[in-house]
A and B are shown apart, each in its own frame.
Chain A
Amino acid sequence: MNETVTQGYSYFPGCSLTRSNRAYDISTRSVARALDIELVEIDDWNCCGATAYLPIRERRAFVLSARNLAIAEKTDRELATICNACYVVLRKTNKYMAEDATLRRAVGRALKAGGMDYHGTVRVRHFLDILVNDVGEEAIRQKVCRDLSGLRVACYSGCQLSRPFDDLDDPEYPVIMERLAGWLGATVVPFPMSAKCCGGLSMTTRPEVGRQLTGKLLTTAKQRGADAILTACPLCQINLEGYQGPISRAAGADCSIPVLYFTQLAGLAFGLEGRELALADSLTPVEDLCAEKVGAL
């Protein structure tokens, strides 16, 4: 563990984590507790600026993100987030504000009108990055108390974990989640689709496009013999688990497969209860998977 871990992190859950994908939030908090990582939710946070909002109202989206960053800046800690989209929008705001003086002044004036200011000092981190690069292999391996070697996982990073910003991982073939899953003791199956798009919001706006993209991910994971797909993003998660019925029917093949967050896998490895990981929220049957593939060490 490095020094950053002992300082703790500010925490930005993001909108979809409050209800529809609360399993990600719940399992993140449980895993942090198990590892003695302090996560302090920032007060009265708002929407990050989001993939749906940013394109049509860019400067407003930067204000939305900057308001969150301004709140986090008061704590003097790094800001942990778990949604890939929040991760990119918060980072994009930091980057564009740093590079573009006109934008920086405009956003600064807007924040001031609402009684806030932001000096650009908050470092935004994905919780996956924190586990792998701050907590590290040794501390993670020490904590493992269940045998996951019978569980074959396909690690799916999604787009925005390593695109457009590729400093965390390779933008084409990311490996960070595979490293973590390996330390946790799971069997990692080769999954070349790790950074291919799930279709994002096109699953709603253009279902024929979204289902095709998610379908490729599901069929590849099944072909590779995975028992479960791991994700790091709430939208990827719902796309992957929510449409398996119609995708299976269209593909003429069984595409049903449990979809877990990497935090849920970590919690299983650390011996946490299903309730602490909100496993019952899954739309795909996770109980059988856990009973069959997760054993005592």
Chain B
Amino acid sequence: MVSTEAKQLCNQFLENVYAIPHGEKIKDCIQCGTCSASCPSSAAMEYGPREIIAALRAGMLDRVLNANTVWLCVSCYSCTVRCPAGIPFTDVMYELKRLEVDQGLAKDSAGAAMAKAFAGVVDRHGRNVETKLLRKYYLGTNPLKVLPQIPLALKMLAKGRLEFWPRTIRGIKGLRKMMAAIEENGTP
């Protein structure tokens, strides 16, 4: 049984999906499974893309959010270009990522931590700075996981390919005004 409240949240979410360009096509899903078969990371997913659509249409948003699926999406757009119903499924995954981050539902997810760290660096400097991004990411998740990356980091360092001093764009103040003006769902 799905509670009324959960169903309402799911309906609200589906409304957001319908608002994506061509998002309403999710109603035309025929459960053929082309998306799941095309997904390069579906083998590691608890639910594949086809099951995600089925669960959403059944009002089981909680199952979707509890699965590891969303942050395994690598943005390859294979599902999107192959879907016979024209569903922009990569964008549906993005809508789910937003919901999880906005509602603080992304539990212990490396993908969410990476996205948040990335957004933090770009909002601060106007550009990404990889060393700062990775420092934020590993400190915010599991710092020990940086260990296997050290050989690569040393090689990059030897080649002069690591940037240590973040460069901030000159127009950062203007950019911050723009960001304040777009006010996305009230989130910072």
Contact = CB atoms under 8 A, between A and B. Distances in A.
Interface of A: 15-16, 18-22, 44-47, 50-60, 63-64, 67, 95-96, 99-100, 106-107, 109-116, 159-160, 163-164, 166, 171-172, 196-197, 199-202, 204-209, 213, 242-243, 245-246, 280-281, 283
Interface residues of B, number: 63
A42 to B, nearest CB: 12
Interface of B: 21, 40-41, 44, 71-72, 74-78, 80-81, 88, 90, 93-94, 97-98, 101, 110-116, 118-119, 122, 126-130, 134, 137, 148-149, 151-152, 155-156, 159-163, 167, 169-171, 174-182, 184, 187
B161 A46 contact: no
20 contacts: A15-B130, A16-B130, A19-B161, A46-B169, A53-B115, A55-B94, A99-B21, A100-B21, A114-B171, A115-B174, A159-B78, A163-B77, A164-B81, A172-B81, A197-B78, A201-B74, A201-B114, A202-B72, A204-B137, A281-B159
Given A50-B118, A55-B115, A107 B97 contact: no
Contact of A114 (B74, B75, B178): B178
Contacts of A44: 169-171
Contacts of A243: 152
A150 B40 CA distance: 33
A16 B159 CA distance: 15
Contacts of B148: 207, 246
A99 B88 CA distance: 15
Q: Which of B93, B122, B160, B178 has the most CB of A within 10 A?
A: B178
B98 A58 contact: yes
Given A53-B115, A110-B178, A209-B41, 7 more contacts: A113-B181, A114-B175, A116-B178, A159-B76, A164-B81, A202-B41, A204-B134
A56 B116 contact: yes
Contacts of A116: 174, 178
Q: Which of A111, A202, A213, A281 has the most CB of B within 10 A?
A: A202
Given A20-B161, A57-B119, A15 B127 contact: yes
A81 to B, nearest CB: 15
B119 A63 contact: no
Majority secondary structure, B binding face: helix
B114 A205 contact: yes
A15 B127 CA distance: 6
A114 B177 contact: yes
B180 to A, nearest CB: 7
A283 B159 contact: yes
A262 B97 CA distance: 34
B118 A52 contact: yes
A95 B88 CA distance: 14
B172 to A, nearest CB: 8
Given A159-B78, A171-B81, A280 B178 contact: no
A96 B116 CA distance: 23
A20 B162 contact: yes
Contacts of A166: 81
A15 to B, nearest CB: 4
A127 B38 CA distance: 28
Given A50-B122, A55-B98, A113 B80 contact: no
Contacts of B101: 56
Given A15-B127, A114-B171, A163 B74 contact: no
Contacts of A46: 122, 126-127, 169, 171, 175
Given A56-B101, A159-B78, A164-B88, A67 B178 contact: yes
Contacts of B76: 159-160, 163, 197, 200
A53 B40 contact: no
Nearest to A213: B40
Nearest 3 Cβ contacts at the A-B interface: A114-B174, A19-B163, A113-B181
B151 A245 contact: yes
A115 B130 CA distance: 29
Contact of A57 (B90, B128, B184): B184
A20 B161 CA distance: 4
A110 B179 contact: yes
A72 to B, nearest CB: 14
B77 A159 contact: yes
Contacts of B162: 19-20
B114 A53 contact: no
Nearest to B122: A47
B88 A63 contact: no
A237 B179 CA distance: 31
